Amino acid sequence: MSSSGKVRVMVRTRKVPVGTAIVTKPMFTASGVFLGSSTSRVVLFDSRLDESQRTAIKEGRRLSRRLGLDLEVVDASKSNPFRRLLSLVRRGDSPEPDFLVAPQAGEDRGSRGLL
Domain boundaries, the chain: 6-15+47-101
Of 36, 39, 20, nearest to 28 by C-alpha is 36
Listed in sequence order, the DSSP H helices in 1-115 are 51-67, 81-93
State the burial class of residue 53 (Cβ atoms within 10 Å of its Cβ: 0-12, 13-18, 19+): buried
Contacts of residue 91, defined as CB under 8 A and 6 or more positions apart, other chains included, come to 98
* Amino acid 94: pLDDT: 44
* Amino acid 87: pLDDT: 67
Instruction: List the chain pLDDT tens, one digit each, 115 residues.
Output: 444 578 888 888 899 999 999 999 999 999 999 999 999 999 999 999 989 889 889 998 998 898 888 888 888 888 777 776 776 676 554 444 456 666 665 544 443 444 4
* Amino acid 79: pLDDT: 75
Parallel/antiparallel/unpaired status of strands 98-101 and 34-48: unpaired
pTM given for the model: 0.56
List the Cα angle 82/86/91 in 5-degree steps: 150
**CA-CA distance, 56 to 62, in Å (whole number)?**
10
